[in-house]
């Protein structure tokens, strides 16, 4: 007959702790295997990447030797000629992007631009605006007239469009920019 006696109590959760440590050991082992495989892949790819880097360095060295600028006097002469040609082109006022940005900021929410024809050389813009109410278009017309960079704003045509129950009011406007 065998009698086993232990005077020390077994700690609580020892088996759960042993299982958690075992799972962590398995996870770390899998991670180590994955990292080792990644290292071998990178080492296999390294010669190809080094060759590519060498070709790019050669291309940069070749491009740098061909990119010599003309003398400063020649560049200044070219700048003067371009400036003179730009002055002859006769462009007045705003470019189209700047004009569209102004319309985006100043057009009321219920007014929509239906068409826009910007004549840059003449400094003139023809546009058609539409809204469900004439009051919104009138407010838009006032904003155009208050803009100090516009020489004149003319209402060339006012009309309505749409079905009998849902009509929309349209204004055809001509805006002349200050030179």
Q: pLDDT-based confidence at 165, cuts 50/70/90?
A: low
The DSSP code for 93 is: S
162-to-114, 115, 127, 155 alpha-carbon distances in Å: 14, 17, 19, 21
Angle between helices 134-146 and 96-106 (to 10 degrees): 130
Per residue in 97-143, pLDDT (tens digit) is 888 888 888 888 889 888 999 888 788 899 999 988 888 888 888 99
Q: Helical H runs in 89-172?
A: 96-106, 134-146
CB 114 within 8 A of CB 129: yes
Provide the percentage of residues in the chain whose pLDDT is more than 90.
28
pTM strictly above 0.75: no
Q: Residue 29 domain-assigned?
A: yes
Edge-first strand order for the sheet with 167-177 is 112-119, 124-131, 167-177, 150-162
- CA 48/CA 56 separation, integer angstroms: 13
Q: Residue 132 domain-assigned?
A: yes
Specify which residues 36 forms β-bridges with. Answer: none
pLDDT at 65: 59
Number of domains in the chain: 2
49 and 104 housed in the same domain? no
101 and 41 housed in the same domain? no
Q: Residue 121 belongs to a domain with what CATH number?
A: 3.30.1360.100
The DSSP code for 8 is: S
Percentage helix, strand, coil, to 5, in the chain?
55, 20, 25
Q: Look at 31 and 158; give whichever has higher pLDDT.
A: 31
Q: Please give the residue range of the domain that contains residue 138.
A: 96-177
SS3 153: strand
159-to-43, 128, 132, 167, 169 alpha-carbon distances in Å: 75, 11, 12, 10, 6
110 and 162 housed in the same domain? yes
């Amino acid at each position: 007959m065998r009698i086993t006696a232990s005077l020390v109590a077994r700690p609580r959760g020892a088996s759960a702790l042993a299982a958690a440590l075992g799972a962590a050991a398995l996870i770390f082992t899998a991670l180590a295997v994955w990292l080792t495989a990644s290292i071998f892949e990178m080492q296999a790819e390294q010669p190809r990447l080094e060759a590519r880097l060498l070709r790019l360095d050669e291309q940069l060295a070749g491009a740098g030797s061909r990119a010599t600028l003309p003398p400063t006097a020649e560049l200044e002469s070219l700048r003067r000629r371009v400036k003179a040609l730009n002055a002859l082109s006769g462009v007045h006022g705003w470019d189209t992007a700047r004009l569209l940005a102004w319309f985006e900021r100043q057009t009321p929410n219920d007014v929509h631009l239906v068409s826009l024809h910007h004549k840059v050389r003449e400094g003139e813009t023809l546009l058609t605006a539409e809204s469900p109410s004439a009051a919104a278009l009138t407010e838009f017309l006032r904003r155009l007239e208050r803009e100090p960079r516009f020489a004149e704003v003319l209402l060339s045509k006012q009309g309505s469009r749409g079905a009998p129950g849902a009509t929309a009011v349209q204004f055809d406007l001509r805006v002349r920019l200050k030179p």
